[in-house]
């Protein structure tokens, strides 16, 4: 059977355009090249939470935690939604007996479709219990289960994400960067010492425990972590594209991948961009596998030799020669007081803002284009959707996706298919509707066609003035719960190159077709 998006590889390749480069999925076919993939979209809701008591298939799974069911609302009040992740929704919760606030990640049992899913939840609970109390790792309060959900209650980290704090501060020094990376490497060292491989280190997984200036960072997400089996080489493709180690792409890795990911974070802290950057995951992977590390162009001449030495050792391509977390903590630059307190070039912060904000507008534009494609353009995608939607409901469930991919010759594991589902399911209702499917699978060349870019521009330019104003951008993005005022300001500042306070068509097209301008200039 033929496919307009190039068969199964085209399907996976198309999915990589859903969002910025986060979750990596690679086909297990031995003769296929690495094929990437992406994840979730965070949203925040502020209404009180009411857990459904409606019966579902989850009740057929039986106890997951091996203890009696507990009504969590008898112990905690669940309040506003804090965010959505790969495996659950996190709420602010208040302990009734003490009034203390915590974070509660609720995992819907209906999404646990197989034994592997159940084992992953059990493993996450065991790892959180195992690591709780260690430096720079979130404190675990307890796990509870009812007929519908598994609830993981842990320390509330109210200080926000690491990069948000850096950007808000406006400037920082090598010494401050050393303090940050020291905490991250401490997490890696503690995990490895205690027999855990994290497998998904990235800035988003580190939160500040409070809004205080000197608040410590806490690692908060261990959903992909595993207990290390000595001598075993791991083959599952997990992690996030910018931070993935080369040996992961070869499906033959061990705990050394965590040091690599920490090294990527350090590179970003000092330069504002990842070392291996591209518009597509294919490009990112090519850079990772090629291994050319730029420590020469701006701002690297102003960065200390010691800092660059540590980066080289953390980003050593041979995992056997890569510095260990324990040794990295003893490196002169990372030790207290050794790094320079000279402020880092402010252009780094500008690039970091672009790196974080640029793809939010792209993501929405991609969805707009998917909604405006003609029937002729998406005929093949519609057929593929109908083939997978076996019950004709107009949506694809996880089981239908698994069955459909199997018929296409897929050899993806259950966990990989689950991540694929999570990336395509933009509204997080547990199914993929037609527009979500088209958005996830359409070819990049369709995005870059002039008429499609113009249609997307017109969507934002409500009054037809030829410009996207701040109000028009706010209206579009808040309608999809995709951006607050700070994000909108960042997008305007980054895309509006002529600084007239609005985005014209040429600026919009340049943003859609290229990476960050600062990075493009750096590459020249």
Binding-site sequence positions for ATP: 109
Chain centroid, CA 274 distance in Å: 14
Residue pair 167/357 in contact by the 8 Å Cβ criterion: no
Provide the 3-class DSSP secondary structure of residue 77: strand
Residues 6+ apart with CB under 8 A from 389: 395, 396, 400
* 66/131 Cα distance (integer angstroms): 20
* Beta carbons within 8 Å of 242's beta carbon, 6+ residues apart: 21, 202, 264, 274, 276, 277, 284
For tokens 């904000």, the residue is 357
Query: DSSP letters of 194-237?
Result: TTEE-----GGGEEESSSSTTPPEEE---TT-EE--TTPPB---
Q: By C-alpha distance, which of 520, 491, 208 is closest to 353?
A: 491
> How far apart are the C-alpha atoms of 65 and 51, rounded to whole Å?
19
**DSSP three-state, residue 455:** helix
Q: How far apart are CA 336 and CA 186, in angstroms?
A: 13
Separation of alpha carbons 339 and 398, rounded Å: 49
Binding-site residue numbers are 109
Between CA 180 and CA 332 the distance in angstroms is 15
Distance between CA atoms of residues 13 and 4, nearest Å: 13
Write down the catalytic residue from 117, 146, 200, 258: 200
Structure tokens given for 384: 């593929």
| Cis before 299? omega within 30 | yes
Residue 156 β-bridge partners: none
Give yes or no: 506 in active site: no
Beta-strand (E) ranges in 215-359?
217-219, 226-227
Other C-beta atoms lying within 10 Å of the C-beta of residue 221: 21
* Rounded CA separation 380/404 (Å): 15
Write out the E strands in 383-482: 395-396, 432-433, 467-468
| Angle at 390 (CA atoms; ends 387, 392), nearest 5 degrees | 105
Enter the DSSP assignment of 49.
P
Beta-strand runs (E) in 373-482: 395-396, 432-433, 467-468
Residue (of 35, 501, 29, 113) closest to 282 by Cα position: 35
Sort residue 66 into left (φ over 0), alpha (ψ -120 to 50) or beta: left
CB-based burial label for 380 (10 Å; 0-12, 13-18, 19+):
middle
**Are the C-beta atoms of residues 441 and 15 closer than 8 Å to each other?**
yes
> Catalytic amino acids?
200
């Amino acid at each position: 059977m033929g496919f307009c998006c190039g068969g199964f590889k085209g399907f996976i390749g198309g999915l990589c355009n859903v969002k910025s480069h986060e979750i990596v999925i690679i086909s297990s076919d031995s003769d296929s090249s690495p094929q990437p993939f992406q994840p979730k979209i965070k949203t925040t809701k502020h209404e009180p939470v009411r857990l459904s008591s409606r019966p579902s298939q989850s009740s057929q799974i039986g106890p997951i935690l091996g203890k009696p069911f507990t009504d969590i609302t008898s112990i905690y009040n669940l309040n506003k939604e804090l965010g959505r992740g790969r495996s659950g929704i996190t709420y602010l919760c208040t302990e009734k007996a003490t009034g203390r606030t915590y974070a509660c990640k609720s995992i819907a049992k209906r999404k646990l479709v197989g034994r592997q899913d159940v084992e992953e939840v059990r493993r996450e609970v065991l790892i959180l219990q195992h690591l709780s109390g260690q430096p720079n790792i979130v404190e675990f309060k307890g796990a509870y289960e009812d007929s519908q959900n598994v609830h993981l209650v842990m320390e509330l980290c109210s200080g926000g994400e690491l990069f948000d704090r850096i950007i808000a501060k406006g400037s920082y020094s090598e010494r401050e960067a050393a303090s940050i990376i020291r905490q991250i490497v401490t997490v890696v060292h503690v995990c490895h010492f205690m027999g855990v491989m994290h497998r998904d280190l990235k800035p988003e997984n580190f939160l500040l425990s409070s809004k205080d200036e000197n608040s410590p960072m806490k690692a908060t997400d261990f959903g992909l972590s595993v207990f290390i089996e000595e001598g075993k080489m791991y083959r599952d493709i997990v992690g996030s594209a910018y931070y993935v180690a080369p040996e992961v792409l070869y499906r033959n890795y061990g705990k050394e991948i965590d040091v690599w990911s920490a090294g990527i974070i350090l590179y970003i802290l000092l330069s504002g961009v990842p070392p291996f950057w591209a518009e597509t995951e294919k490009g990112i992977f090519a850079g990772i596998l090629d291994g050319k590390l730029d420590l020469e162009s701006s701002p690297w001449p102003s960065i200390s030799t010691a800092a660059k030495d540590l980066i080289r050792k953390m980003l050593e391509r041979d995992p056997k020669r890569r510095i260990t977390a324990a040794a990295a903590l003893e490196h002169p630059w990372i030790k207290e007081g050794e790094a320079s307190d000279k402020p880092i070039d402010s252009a780094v912060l500008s690039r970091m803002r672009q790196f974080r904000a640029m793809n939010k507008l792209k993501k929405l534009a991609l969805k707009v284009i998917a909604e405006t494609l003609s029937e002729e353009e998406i005929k093949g995608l519609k057929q593929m959707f109908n083939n997978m939607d076996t019950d004709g409901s107009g949506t694809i469930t996880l089981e239908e996706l698994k069955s459909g991919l199997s018929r296409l010759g897929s050899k993806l594991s259950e966990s990989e298919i689950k991540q694929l589902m999570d990336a395509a399911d933009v509204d997080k209702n547990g199914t993929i509707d037609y527009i979500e499917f088209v958005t996830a699978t359409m070819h990049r060349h369709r995005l870059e066609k002039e008429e499609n870019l113009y249609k997307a521009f017109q969507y934002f330019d409500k009054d037809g003035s030829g410009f996207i104003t701040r109000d028009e951008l706010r209206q579009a993005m808040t309608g999809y719960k995709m951006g607050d005022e700070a994000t909108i300001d960042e997008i305007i500042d980054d895309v509006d190159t002529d600084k007239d306070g609005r985005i014209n068509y040429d600026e919009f097209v340049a943003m859609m077709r290229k990476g960050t301008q600062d990075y493009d200039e750096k590459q020249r």
